[in-house]
Amino acid sequence: MSAPRPIRILLAILGMDQHEAGAFAVARLLRDAGMEVIYLGRFGTPEIVAAAAQEEGVDVIGLSCHSWEYLYYLEELFELLKSRELDVPVVVGGSVLSQSDESEIQAKGVAATFGPGSDSAEIVQRIRNLVEARGAA
Amino acid sequence: MADRTTQSGIPLQPFYTAADRSSGGDDEASREPQSDPGEYPYTRGRLASPRRRDSWISQELSGEGTARRSNEQFRQLIERGARGLDVIGDAPTMSAMDPDHPLARHAVGNTGVSICRLQDFEDLYADLPLDELTFSHSLPPGAFAVAAFHRVAKRRGFDPKALRGSTILLPAYCEDCSYQIHMPYDLRMRLALDSIEFAATEMPRFHAFLEDTYYISDGGLNAIEEMALGFVEIREIVRTLIDRGLDVDAFAPRIAILVNCRMDLFEEVAKIRATRRIFARMMREEFGAKDPRSWSCAITAHTSGLSMTMAQPVNNVARGAVQGLALALAGVQAVEISCFDEAYRTPSHDAHMVSLRTQQIVQLEAGADRVADPLGGSYFVESLTDELEQRILEMVGSIESMGPLKEVSEKGWFRRLFQEAMTRRADAIQDGSETQIGVNAFVIPREEDRLLRDQSESKIEPYWGRIDEIRHFKDGRDAGAVAEQFARMREVAAEGETNLIEPIADAFEAGLTQGEIAGALRLGVGEAYDPLGQMEPPA
């Protein structure tokens, strides 16, 4: 039996949000857990993210946020993914995620959210579960 | 690693005695006997005696929405006892991009004020006594703020020579931490040098040379790295100004350092004491400054936003009080305390009030700043001051030995340092080696964490209306004047000799915006007008 393909995750920051601390920490965490991380860097847009997700054939899209801009970009991103017929779960993590934001964006279709103080092991496990649940479907 | 260390990793003993002073520091022979506050090398303070009532200028970071809205915030702060103002821009402003840039569309006015034209600066300062308050401009690149502040003051009939305040420069680091302005090293350095040279004669009370080590360090650098990077940049700027033919005493008295204040109380006190001593010796012994005002550095402080947590926001009030106490014990010229909602947003009205009151309680009730350097002579604090001085100087030496600052910066060495500090800090919180109450110790269930929760998490909507306002403004300008000033800006950037401050002020006056001026400067030095490739030049 061959080893399973590692999970591929696209990590992005949208708009003018330029705080990368969270993105770096999560990128390293996921790499250490054996995932392939494609970090798009700063100044991302929904177009850039959707195109990269398709080109790279990722299993998950992760948005890192330290400003509220992601709230206004999410719908656009979901539409673009739909128009590209990409069924990829979107997860959002960041320092500015409040409890009410978490429920609000989950209602909009975000598959998982990670607020400040999220546990490393929990982040890795929930991303794995998401991908495995899809593989099984 | 010792079981007890400071936040920067300096091993600590269980207690200190007189013997630790001589064993801890740099070479004994070169050390001055303990001097008094107000005496060289100013370890114990810049002034012999603190001001009678309150020893520092209380400020709070502010700015949201439009300049008019921010001007209202200023007035409220002054009413409550602030004596200085510190304005921060929104993300596009901090990156020298206009609100009508496509990437800025959801970031206008919700993390600071949106500023891009001379009218905005006029609105920002409207009806305020420009010669009585100090205006700190956390609005990079500093050259824009210097040009605009000078021009607006003149237009309103104030003598620019009376203007006080500061602006941030950070030519070596600003592309590598937090907000990018997308300008190459030489252009960033020239804007910094031109600002200092211009202010030295035109606005002699203004600190155009503010080394903002807060800005570079709050991603996770420790106290040693913070000050080492600060001194590396100060030294480079001083050397280059001297090479330009300036007398060191013409600009050195207006050098100020804005430091970070984390939670390690004694380390932060010792860092500030060590900083004053390093600065004094460097200016006198290395750069040959003769004027004692060139030896004693003004230090202002902003308490660490990184130390503030989303969990249990009310805990942040206690953190602010401890940090305020550290600054009172260290002795500084101005203080800002990060607000309880800092982890989530730029400060609200209520949060401003609590932070200002914290400062006033530390000063006026606790009286922590009544006496200069109350910890002077403490075995522990003196030993830690020596140790920090030595470690900061060692790191300065090691960075300078890597080659010219421009090369070290362009090689990405600082960017890596900032990145490593961020991950190191994330690890320390995750593995608990750095304690944060409510985050990795004494955690309470989220549903119980309600105190100040709603106040801390109230959002500011983007000021979308501002985008159309600026589009409309751009369409209504005198196209000829805009084209002429745009061409001149490009030209002076390319030619490399003319001081850029007056041309920037002229460009503002003709209606050019910060995004356009930044673009013209970039074109002048052979870079793309818009680094993100989405905007066209106006002419």
Give the relative orientation of helices A46-56 and A69-83 as an angle to the nearest 10 degrees: 50
pLDDT at B29: 43
Mean pLDDT of the residues in chain B: 94
Token pair for B471 = 């589009």
Q: Is the pLDDT of residue B31 over 60?
A: no
Residue B187, classified by CB atoms within 10 Å of its CB into exposed (0-12), middle (13-18) or buried (19+), is buried
Band of residue B356 on the pLDDT scale cut at 50, 70, 90? very high
Shared-domain flag, residues B361 and B505: no
Sheet holding B134-138, edge to edge: B57-58, B334-336, B298-303, B255-261, B206-212, B164-168, B134-138, B84-88, B61-62
What backbone phi and psi angles, to 5 degrees, belong to B86? -135, 115
The last residue of one of the domains, among B430, B455, B490, is: B430
> Is the residue at B363 inside a domain?
yes
A16, A42, A120 member nearest B107 (Cβ): A16
For the beta carbon of residue B336, count every other beta carbon within 10 angstroms. 30
B299 with B210: CB under 8 angstroms?
no
Q: What range does the domain containing B179 cover? A: 55-430
Token pair for A104 = 């609000």
> Is the residue at B530 inside a domain?
no
pLDDT digits 0-9 by tens, B36-49? 999 999 999 998 88
Shared-domain flag, residues B383 and B316: yes
What is the average per-residue pLDDT within B408-434? 92
Give the relative orientation of helices B479-495 and B501-509 as an angle to the nearest 10 degrees: 170
> Is the residue at B4 inside a domain?
no
Give the pairing of strands B206-212 and B255-261.
Answer: parallel
Residue B195 carries which side chain, given as an amino acid letter?
S
The last residue of one of the domains, among B430, B461, B489, is: B430
B314 with B354: CB under 8 angstroms?
no
pLDDT digits 0-9 by tens, B196-209? 999 999 999 999 99
> Is the residue at B137 inside a domain?
yes
Token pair for B308 = 């503030």
Band of residue B32 on the pLDDT scale cut at 50, 70, 90? low
Helix (H) or strand (E) holding B256: strand B255-261
Token pair for B409 = 């910066």
Residue A130 at interface with chain B, using a CB cutoff of 8 Å: no
Residue A33 at interface with chain B, using a CB cutoff of 8 Å: no
What is the average per-residue pLDDT within A88-111? 94
> Is the residue at B300 inside a domain?
yes
pLDDT at B30: 44
Distance CA B227, CA B211 (A): 10
Shared-domain flag, residues B394 and B496: no
Shared-domain flag, residues B86 and B162: yes
Residues on chain B touching A18 (C-beta within 8 angstroms): 91, 95, 178-180
N-terminal to C-terminal alpha carbon distance within chain A: 21
Q: Which residues, 6+ apart, have CB-to-CB distance to B106 below 8 Å?
A: A15, A68, A69, A71, A72, A73, B462
Residues on chain A touching B430 (C-beta within 8 angstroms): 120
What is the average per-residue pLDDT within B115-130? 97
Shared-domain flag, residues B367 and B490: no
Residue B143 at interface with chain A, using a CB cutoff of 8 Å: no
What is the average per-residue pLDDT within B202-222? 95
Chain A: closest CA distance from residue B485 (Å)? 28
Distance CA B535, CA B103 (A): 10
Token pair for A55 = 């080109």
For the beta carbon of residue A84, count every other beta carbon within 10 angstroms. 13
- Which among B515, B450, B531, B522 has a CA at the least distance from the CA of B493? B522
pLDDT digits 0-9 by tens, A71-93? 999 999 999 999 999 999 999 99
Chain A: closest CA distance from residue B313 (Å)? 12
Q: Is the dihedral of CA B293, B296, B301, B306 positive or negative?
A: positive
Q: What whole-number percentage of chain B has pLDDT above 90?
A: 89
Q: Is the pLDDT of residue B2 over 60?
A: no
> Is the residue at B46 inside a domain?
no
Counting the structural domains of chain B, the total is 2
DSSP assigned state of B33 = P
Q: Is the pLDDT of residue A2 over 70?
A: no
CB contact (8 A) between residue B457 and residue A28: no
CATH number of the structural domain spanning residue B390: 3.20.20.240
Helix (H) or strand (E) holding B407: helix B405-410
Token pair for B93 = 């402003």
Q: Is the pLDDT of residue B26 over 50?
A: no
pLDDT digits 0-9 by tens, B158-174? 999 999 999 987 899 98
Q: Is the pLDDT of residue B21 over 90?
A: no
Token pair for B247 = 């007398």
Distance CA B97, CA B535 (A): 10
Residue B316 at interface with chain A, using a CB cutoff of 8 Å: no
Q: What whole-number percentage of chain B has pLDDT above 70?
A: 97
Chain A: closest CA distance from residue B348 (Å)? 15
What backbone phi and psi angles, to 5 degrees, belong to B480? -65, -45
Least confident of A24-28, B230-234, B441-445: A24-28
- Which among A111, A119, A113 has a CA at the least distance from the CA of A137? A111
B246 with B448: CB under 8 angstroms?
no
Token pair for B42 = 């100013």
Helix (H) or strand (E) holding A90: strand A90-94
> Is the residue at B115 inside a domain?
yes
pLDDT at A3: 65
Shared-domain flag, residues B67 and B149: yes
Shared-domain flag, residues B234 and B299: yes
- List all residues of chain A from 89 to 118 with a beta carbon under 8 Å from chain B: 95-96, 98-100, 115-117
Residues on chain B touching A67 (C-beta within 8 angstroms): 91, 107, 110-111
What is the average per-residue pLDDT within B488-511? 97
Assign residue A4 a region (left: φ > 0; alpha: ψ between -120 and 50; beta: otherwise). Answer: beta
Distance CA B303, CA A61 (A): 35
Q: Is the pLDDT of residue B1 over 60?
A: no
Token pair for B233 = 């940049």
Residue A45 at interface with chain B, using a CB cutoff of 8 Å: yes
Shared-domain flag, residues B498 and B419: no
Band of residue A1 on the pLDDT scale cut at 50, 70, 90? low
Give the domains, in start order, of chain A with CATH numbers: 8-136 (3.40.50.280)
pLDDT at B430: 86
B283 with B295: CB under 8 angstroms?
yes
pLDDT digits 0-9 by tens, B260-318? 999 999 999 999 999 999 999 999 999 999 999 999 999 999 999 999 999 999 999 99
Shared-domain flag, residues B73 and B129: yes
Beta-carbon contacts below 8 Å between A and B: 84
Shared-domain flag, residues B88 and B210: yes
Distance CA B12, CA B380 (A): 9
Least confident of A115-124, B215-224, B256-265, B346-355: A115-124
Band of residue B415 on the pLDDT scale cut at 50, 70, 90? very high
For the beta carbon of residue B2, count every other beta carbon within 10 angstroms. 9
B515 with B96: CB under 8 angstroms?
yes
Distance CA B240, CA B232 (A): 12
pLDDT digits 0-9 by tens, B66-119? 999 999 999 999 998 888 999 999 999 999 999 999 999 999 999 999 999 999
Token pair for B218 = 């709050």
Mean pLDDT of the residues in chain A: 93
* Diameter of chain B measured on Cα atoms: 73
- Which among A119, A109, A26 has a CA at the least distance from the CA of A65? A26
Distance CA B112, CA B469 (A): 18
Q: How far is residue B489 from each of residues B410, B414, B512, measured CA to CA in Å? A: 25, 30, 10
Shared-domain flag, residues B388 and B509: no
Shared-domain flag, residues B144 and B272: yes
Sheet holding A112-114, edge to edge: A36-39, A8-12, A60-65, A90-94, A112-114
Give the pairing of strands B206-212 and B164-168.
Answer: parallel
The last residue of one of the domains, among B372, B403, B430, is: B430
B219, B440, B446 member nearest A21 (Cβ): B219
Output the DSSP codes for B464-499: THHHHHHHHHHHTS-HHHHHHHHHHHHHHHHH--S-
Residues on chain A touching B93 (C-beta within 8 angstroms): none
pLDDT at B23: 45
User: Which of A16, A49, A100, A101 has the highest number of chain B CBs within 10 A, making it the mutation to test binding with B?
Assistant: A16
Residues on chain B touching A72 (C-beta within 8 angstroms): 105-106, 462
> Is the residue at B246 inside a domain?
yes
pLDDT at B140: 87
pLDDT at A137: 54
Distance CA A23, CA A100 (A): 22
Cα–chain center distance at B115: 18
Chain A: closest CA distance from residue B248 (Å)? 36
Residues on chain B touching A94 (C-beta within 8 angstroms): none
Q: Which residues, 6+ apart, have CB-to-CB distance to B87 below 8 Å?
A: B61, B62, B63, B70, B74, B112, B113, B124, B135, B136, B137, B138, B139
B62 with B79: CB under 8 angstroms?
no
